[in-house]
């Protein structure tokens, strides 16, 4: 497959998955969302009655007025239809894609807006900040450490790294997060236990405060994943180092160091990229929960709180956004795979 075709194919696949997820979301939560919208509409009608100070003879008349008004409005918005009619499903998918999900019942942004889109967009950058920073750090540490231990196969360092990788794979990352709070916040008092910055976003020191509060979550995310990263790098590198062409290079006298870092790493690149794409995908879920443990003001915390309060619009919005982030991550690693793979480049 050529580069262009691969790209096209991958993007097609990505949109298919996105659409499938949206479809499942809408099918699952459509009826609940309908119910919530009708409820919101009823409140709106009652508000209007109170404001216009309409007079009614008795409460029954008032109730019948509300119901009539509600029916009228439901019809215009299509809420009286079954949640599963095709046109409705289509509109709902569109509204999820544009995050047009109405208002949240329990959450507001720092500036007081309760619009679901505003709330989510306020949180996304913070999640991305934490997730990308930790991913970058882990990538660098993983590649350097993995290459180092691959060059010393069978040494103490190598064994230590393997054991560490197995252990860090067995522990849930959010549990490690709790332990980190216990050690660094409760016992040693180095970092704050709650990662929500104290100063308000308009302060000039806000960025510094944010970074200081980010330290502990960041360290945790790095600790839980760099071991398995290094292990993956080491595994594929050693496989490559046993190939004939490496032996050939060694016999012409290319230094061991150069073989390891240049020839070995480049050839091991593609499989490493694939393995990493998968581990990234799974660590994204884990980092969302880790966020909730640290109270880091990102999507994960919002997710955790929204589930606790059963705020459906927020949950739907977050599911959509995290799916997008997840797919884009996989897409990027896929592309880098294609770029790294010499066979694809050649054709």
Partner 1 sequence: MQKKLLIDLLRSRRGFIGISIIVFLLLVSAIAPLFIPIKSYILWNDPDYWINNPKTAAPFWTNIFGSKEFEHISLKKNDAKIVSESSDGIKIVNYEFKINMQSGSFPDDFMFLYTAKYGNIPPVLQIDINRPDNNNFTVYYSSLPSSSNINTTFSDRIFSTNKNVKEAMFQYQSLFKYPIANYEPQVLLFSDTDKPSVLKGTYQISEKFFLFDNSSIVDDIGLILGGKVFGIMGTDDLRRDLIVGIIWGTPIALFIGLTVAIFSISIGLIYGVIAGYRGKRTDETMMRINDIFYALPTLPLLILLSITFGRSIFLIIGFLMFFSWMGTAKIIRSIALQIRNFQYVEAAKLMGQSDLKVIFKHIIPQLLPLTFASVAISVPGAILGEAALSFIGLGDPSLPTWGQLLHDANTADAAPRGIWWWIVPPGMMIALTGLAFFLIGNTLDSIANPLRNKNKK
Residues that bind partner 1 (CB under 8 A): 13-14, 16-17, 20-21, 24-25, 28-29, 32, 166-167, 169-172, 174-176, 178-179, 181-182, 185-187, 193-194, 281-282, 284-286, 288-289, 292-293, 303-304, 307-308, 310, 312, 315, 318-319, 322-323, 326-327, 330
**Beta carbon of residue 79, minimum distance to partner 1 (angstroms, whole number):** 19
CB atoms inside a 10 Å sphere around CB 239:
14
Q: Which is nearer to partner 1, 149 or 216 (CB)?
A: 216
For 103, the 3-state DSSP assignment is strand
Instruction: Give the rounded distance of the alpha carbon of 19 from its chain centre.
Output: 17
Q: Which is nearer to partner 1, 151 or 297 (CB)?
A: 297
**Beta carbon of residue 233, minimum distance to partner 1 (angstroms, whole number):** 18
Alpha carbons within 13 angstroms on the beta-carbon side of residue 109 total: 15
Q: Which is nearer to partner 1, 215 or 289 (CB)?
A: 289
Evaluate whether 279 touches 225 at the Cβ level (below 8 Å). yes
Evaluate whether 322 touches 277 at the Cβ level (below 8 Å). no
DSSP 26-50: HHHHHHHHHHHHHHHHHHHHHHHHH
Strands (E), 70-168: none
State the Cα–Cα distance between residues 4 and 345, nearest whole angstrom.
10
Q: Which is nearer to partner 1, 260 or 276 (CB)?
A: 276
Longest dimension (CA), the chain: 102
**Beta carbon of residue 246, minimum distance to partner 1 (angstroms, whole number):** 18
DSSP state of 258: H
Evaluate whether 102 touches 40 at the Cβ level (below 8 Å). yes
Q: Which is nearer to partner 1, 78 or 172 (CB)?
A: 172
CB atoms inside a 10 Å sphere around CB 308:
10
**Beta carbon of residue 285, minimum distance to partner 1 (angstroms, whole number):** 3
Instruction: Give Cα separations from 114 to 34, 80, 253, 308, 317 (angstroms).
Output: 19, 26, 67, 18, 13
Instruction: Give the rounded distance of the alpha carbon of 110 from its chain centre.
Output: 21
**Beta carbon of residue 187, minimum distance to partner 1 (angstroms, whole number):** 7
**Beta carbon of residue 170, minimum distance to partner 1 (angstroms, whole number):** 4
**Beta carbon of residue 105, minimum distance to partner 1 (angstroms, whole number):** 15
Strands (E), the chain: none
Q: Which is nearer to partner 1, 133 or 323 (CB)?
A: 323
Q: Which is nearer to partner 1, 167 or 247 (CB)?
A: 167
**Beta carbon of residue 5, minimum distance to partner 1 (angstroms, whole number):** 15
Q: Which is nearer to partner 1, 24 or 248 (CB)?
A: 24
Alpha carbons within 13 angstroms on the beta-carbon side of residue 336 total: 15
**Beta carbon of residue 123, minimum distance to partner 1 (angstroms, whole number):** 14
Q: Which is nearer to partner 1, 101 or 259 (CB)?
A: 101
């Amino acid at each position: 497959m050529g580069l262009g075709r691969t790209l096209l194919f991958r993007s097609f696949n990505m949109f298919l998955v996105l659409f499938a997820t949206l479809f499942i979301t809408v099918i699952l939560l459509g009826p609940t969302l309908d119910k919530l919208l009708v409820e919101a509409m009823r409140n709106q009608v009652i508000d209007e009655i109170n404001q216009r100070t309409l007079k009614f003879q008795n409460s029954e008349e008032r109730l019948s007025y509300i119901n009539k008004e509600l029916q009228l409005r439901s019809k215009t918005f299509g809420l009286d239809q079954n949640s599963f009619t095709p046109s409705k499903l289509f509109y709902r998918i569109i509204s999820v894609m544009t995050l047009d999900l109405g208002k949240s019942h329990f959450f507001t942004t720092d500036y007081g807006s309760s619009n679901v889109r505003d709330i989510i967009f306020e949180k996304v950058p913070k999640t991305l900040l934490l997730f990308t920073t930790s991913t970058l750090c882990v990538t660098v540490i993983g590649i350097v450490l993995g290459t180092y231990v691959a060059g010393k196969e069978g040494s103490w360092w190598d064994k230590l790294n393997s054991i560490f990788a197995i252990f860090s794979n067995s522990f849930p990352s959010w549990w490690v997060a709790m332990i980190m709070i216990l050690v660094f916040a409760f016992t040693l008092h180095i970092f704050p236990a709650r990662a929500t910055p104290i100063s308000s976003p308009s302060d000039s020191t806000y960025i510094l405060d944010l970074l200081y509060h980010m330290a502990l979550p960041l360290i945790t995310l790095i600790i839980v994943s760099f071991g398995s990263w290094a292990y993956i790098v080491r595994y594929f590198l050693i496989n490559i180092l046993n190939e004939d062409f490496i032996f050939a290079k060694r016999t012409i006298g290319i230094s061991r160091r150069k073989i390891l870092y240049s020839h070995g790493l480049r050839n091991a690149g593609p499989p490493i990229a694939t393995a990493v794409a998968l581990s990234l995908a799974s660590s994204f879920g884990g980092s969302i929960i880790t966020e909730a443990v640290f109270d880091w003001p990102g999507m994960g915390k919002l997710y955790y709180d929204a589930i606790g309060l059963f705020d459906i619009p927020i949950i739907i919005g977050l599911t959509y956004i995290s799916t997008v982030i997840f797919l884009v991550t996989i897409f990027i690693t896929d592309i880098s795979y294609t770029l790294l793979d010499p066979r694809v480049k050649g054709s």
